[in-house]
Structure 1
Amino acid sequence: MNKEELKQKIISDSDKAEAYISDWEVVGIDDVCDLIDQLDEHVEELSQEWIDEHLCHEDEYDFDYIDPDDLKQLFLLKPEKPFVPQFVADYITDNKEAGYTLQQVFYYIHTDYKQGEINEYVEWVSTNEESFARAWLNGFLIEDDIEVWQPITGFYNEVSNLGRVRSVKHKAGNGKIYKSKILKPVVTNSGYVNVAIINKSEGNITKRLHRVVAEAFIPNPENKPEINHIDGNKENNEVSNLEWVTSKENKRHAWENDLQVSVKGSEKPLAKLKEEDIASIRKEYREGCIQMELAEKYGVARQTISSIVNMKAWKHVAEEVSE
């Protein structure tokens, strides 16, 4: 029995009730059909069994109906999609496209397992047979796509590991009650993403989305001050794309990945000198040390020393630092 046949049966069984529906606390036939439309194909037989079990009959007017409280349970027949690893999702998709059935796949899996030919697919399916079957029949969600929400301390907001922010239902100072909703972030001219969140005492505050995500999900035991976008995309604020870094680590990552950031001095990956060395070189030069001696001492070319003492290189090291 498919959906349309099931709907027609319900309609047929309810024809006699049409004249009395408005006088009874029963569920209208259109609502029942809408519910049926939401059920997956492979549970339709089960839904029919459920209807047969819960169908009530009114003797005086001779019609069938379903109690509203009972009908709510029909939603429970709709199966949930299990979470599976990406390689299992690919395995299911590939086998379905190849025309294999679930029974055939289980046969091959069990055969490989018995013969000791165990790979990641065989191992996972052998220990998660029920989840695999449900994923094959009902569809699946990939584990990496699981969205987890954390409260933002001090705010009427929550942030997810996928980089989304929502407000939570709360009562404002004026007594108005605000419902929960997903917030729309704003991409700034610098490419970073901002989001306006609601501080419980100060009202709306705009913050960088990547910082909100990192503070909620990523431990920072070394108290590093900056957050790096691992793939270089400032709009990708999923927790898997973020990491706490020092300023030097952040600039080094940008330099190594050609992200067009101006890196100076010791922050350059191939730098041989540090800012402290520059101060010493300039001081020693003023005190009479010649450039060749300084080059040998610090392991650089004489031309490098010349550029340093003549303020053509390492200009960001302030003159007063050299004093």
Structure 2
Amino acid sequence: MTIKEANENEEEWRDVVGYEGLYVVSNYGVVKSLGNHRGRKEKIMKTHVCRNGYEKLDLCKKGQPTKKVYVHRLVASAFIQNPLNKEQVNHINCKKLDNKLENLEWVTRRENIAHAYATGLMKKNNKPVVAIHIETGEKQEFESQTEASRQLGVNMNIIYNALQGRGTKQSEWKFERVS
């Protein structure tokens, strides 16, 4: 291994934004609480995996309530410029627990969803739907909820709720899945 390769593989630490002097985060996705002059020792923070699959931990600051934060957001905030103020952090390789710097990027919500579709994390719901006009009984079949929403001018949530068996009086149509 050359000196250059060794330097590229070194763990780099930066202050956690908003908790400077209390916590640092590394480019490998590790968070450490810093020691102080009153005997508190430096230690690696324990994380837990949330129901949504992301790593989270609690940060404390004197006089403020404990804050639950995602590790990937701490890494991105400390290491990645965000001049366009994009609001979400994307895991490039789709592994939610891989919080290394090279796996993260700032994205818009739309970019994050497009990435999820492109990588197969999300699949389009293209199940056929039948719309039945409440007054006339007229039936129309659509390739998907989205298509029914576009052509009938009915909000997607109304169609979704109707398909889930939650009746709604907000539309002149009722909806069923094609069997």
TM-score range, shorter chain: 0.5 to 0.7
Contact between 2:17 and 2:77, CA under 8 Å: does it hold in 1? no
Distance 1:221 1:262, change over 3 A: farther
Residue 168 in structure 1 maps to residue 34 in structure 2? yes
**Cα distance change on mapping 1:170 and 1:249 into 2, 3 Å:** same
Find the aligned partners of 1:306 and 1:154 in 2 and give their Cα distance.
46
Name the aligned partner's letter for residue 4 of structure 2: V
The count of residues paired between Structure 1 and Structure 2 equals 141
Q: Deviations over 1:187-216 (max 9, x none)?
A: 112110002223244253220000011000
Q: Which amino acid aligns with 1:84?
A: K
RMSD (CA atoms): 3.2
1:243 is paired with a residue whose SS is strand
- Partner of 1:153, secondary structure, is coil
Which residue is equivalent to 1:213? Answer: 75
Q: Aligned ranges for residues 24-173 of structure 1 at < 5 Å?
A: 83-85=3-5, 141=6, 143-155=7-19, 156-170=22-36
Match of 1:315 among 116, 132, 156: 156
Residue 104 of structure 2: aligned partner = 242
**Distance in 2 of aligned mates of 1:225 and 1:317:** 28
Q: Which of 193, 199, 203 is equivalent to 2:55?
A: 193
Q: How far apart, CA to CA, are the structure 2 residues paired with 1:170 and 1:152?
A: 16
Question: Residue 202 of structure 1 aligns with which residue?
Answer: 64
> Where does the alignment leave 5 or more consecutive residues of structure 2 unmatched?
126-145, 160-169, 171-179
1:17-76 CA-to-partner distances (Å, cap 9, x unmatched) read xxxxxxxxxxxxxxxxxxxxxxxxxxxxxxxxxxxxxxxxxxxxxxxxxxxxxxxxxxxx
TM-score by length of 2: 0.66
Structure with the greater alpha carbon radius of gyration: 1
Matched, 1:182 2:23: no
User: Gapped runs of 5+ residues in structure 1?
Assistant: 1-80, 86-140, 264-303
Which runs of 4 or more aligned residues in structure 1 lie more than 6 Å from their structure 2 counterparts after TM superposition? none
Tell me by how many angstroms 1:240 deviates. Answer: 0.6
Whose relative contact order is higher, 1 or 2, with alpha carbons under 8 Å and at least 6 apart? 2
Q: TM-score, normalised by structure 1?
A: 0.38
Displacement, 1:258? 0.3
Give the structure with the larger helix fraction.
1
